[in-house]
Structure 1
Amino acid sequence: MTGPCVVFDVVGTCFGYDSVADKLENVLASHATISSDLFFKAWMSNAEVDFQRLSVLQKFRPHSTLLKKAFHTTMQDAGIASSSLAPADIDRLIAQYADNLTPRPGLAELMHTLRAAGFTVYCCSDASPERVQGYFAKAGIEMPIENLFSCDMCKAAKPDPKVYRMVKEKLASAELIVFAAAHAWDLAGARNEGFGTAYYTVGEDETCVEVFGEADVVADTLPQLASAIVQKWGKGAA
């Protein structure tokens, strides 16, 4: 690969959580101690914290293996008795997260715009390549498995520098590499390793940028993000 590349974060950036949140709302319907939206965010945060801490401790475990433990931690934090939810319901929620995330609006248009402009699209995710390819396949978007990089490949969690260095090594012949994400902390890790950065604002507020720094391009929708990337780094860009 010698041309320009864009590497996307996947979960939260290319795919959202609507399908999981809907099922979670049904499961938690009788538990008024916490909103399903807040519970979901806490669940994801607990899983991410465990994932990153294990990486720092050099005791890496795949993100998917931590979801059940994080769910029970969140139940405890929310004051929900562990016996009040059926184990099968929890398993179904985890399976929904693993297999059926919702494509973000404009995802197909973004891919078309970038590829038409000569960019090769890659992904770098906490999830396995097989799981990520399944998300794209269900969305009707072609994504070769050889274009999918996983934290599992280097046994480290983003934003560990090892992850971005792995991507650089695999794309060593690329003309340029842009990292795109909806997580300001993810882009901070990519920026430290010399990537161009593209920020999709869904799901975070301006305080995240204040903490982790500004990206080279910023957009509120995926089609706008694609246009901004092409304008800044595409052929003929100033």
Structure 2
Amino acid sequence: MEIDALVFDILGTLVDEPAGIRAGIRAAAPRADTDELVKLWQDHIETEQRRIVDGERPYATSDVLDREAAQLIAGRRNPEKLATIGQRLPPWPDTVEGLARLAKHFPLIGLSNASRSALLRINAHAGLRWHQALSAEDAQTYKPDPAVYELAVKVAKTSPERLLMVAAHAWDLRGAQSVGLRTAYVARPVGDPPKPGDRFDFHADGLADLADQLGERHA
């Protein structure tokens, strides 16, 4: 297997999205049931992104969906303050070092459902460094629509099978497979684990484990 570049999902794979949203809600509403509100937030985002992919709703950026989610959970609180909590997400403990290690051997491409402006702030807050960061906004749809993964193929100017998609979400990896990308599942506490029928090229406990496996394959 020859790999020209690694393509990374960001939300959930490199940053702990639920923890960041929970912290933002707790700061705005200390007495609220944060777990319930985090679930309400994430369910809204997932539902609306799915509707957009299925053609049931015109494309709207992640900023718009975040504002809707904020309004949904705001009650008497300030929805404007809540609307940007999805841009202040902590990295997983192995993320920054793992990316730096992998970057010594491969070009790294971030591929996120976050809007261009949100992606800029997510990267800055979490200290994520890329050779290229791509937003689904450029495809006017969301993963797992094949058009989003094709953004990475076009930027890399290589064949899909020479790109390795890295994600903690099996649904994301299935979407990447639909356009021919290789796949690497990285286990995270908040991810979507593989089902028995899934066949991914790599299964890793974290970025260090993935780097070890890739190093062995290319030794």
* TM-score (norm. length: structure 1): 0.78
Q: Which residue of 1 aligns with 2:156?
A: 171
Matched-pair contact (CA < 8 Å) for 1:133–1:143: no
1:56 Cα deviation from its structure 2 partner: 2.2
- Counterpart of 1:65 in structure 2 is 64
Query: Does the CA contact (< 8 Å) of 1:180 and 1:197 recur in 2?
Result: yes
How many percent of aligned residue pairs carry the same amino acid? Answer: 24
Deviating above 6 A after TM superposition, structure 1's stretches of 4 or more consecutive aligned residues are: none
**In structure 1, how many angstroms separate the alpha carbons of the residues matched to 2:39 and 2:201?**
27
The number of equivalent residue pairs is 215
Partner amino acid, structure 2, of 1:66: L
**Distance in 2 separating the partners of 1:130 and 1:182:** 23
- CA RMSD in angstroms comes to 2.6
Query: What pairs with 1:45-194 in structure 2 (closer than 5 Å)?
Result: 45-57=43-55, 59-73=58-72, 75=73, 84-86=75-77, 88=78, 90-98=79-87, 100-116=88-104, 118-144=105-131, 147-173=132-158, 176-194=162-180
The offset of 1:72, in angstroms, is 4.4
| Residue ranges of structure 2 left out of the alignment (5+ in a row) | none
Question: Does the 8 A contact of 2:12 with 2:191 survive in 1?
Answer: no
Match status 1:21 vs 2:22? yes
Q: Which runs of no fewer than 5 residues in structure 1 stay unpaired?
A: 76-81
C-alpha spacing 1:25/1:188, structure 2 compared with 1 (3 Å): same
Q: Which residue number in structure 2 is paired with residue 10 of structure 1?
A: 10
Deviations 1:98-123 (A, max 9, x none): 2x21111111221122122x211001
Q: Deviations over 1:16-41 (max 9, x none)?
A: 1323312323545434xxx4224313
Sort the Cα spacing of 1:103 and 1:213 in 2 relative to 1 into closer, same or farther, 3 A.
Answer: same
CA contact (8 A) 1:113 1:227 kept: no
Give the alignment's TM-score, normalised by structure 2: 0.84
Deviation at 1:156, TM superposition (A): 1.4
1:217 Cα deviation from its structure 2 partner? 1.2
The superposition leaves residues 53-110 of structure 1 with CA deviations (integer Å, 9 ceiling, x where unpaired) of: 123216111122112323444x4xxxxxx6x432x2x322222222x21111111221
- Distance apart, 1:133 and its partner CA: 3.6
Match of 1:219 in 2: 204
Contact 1:185 1:212 (C-alpha < 8 Å) held by counterparts: no
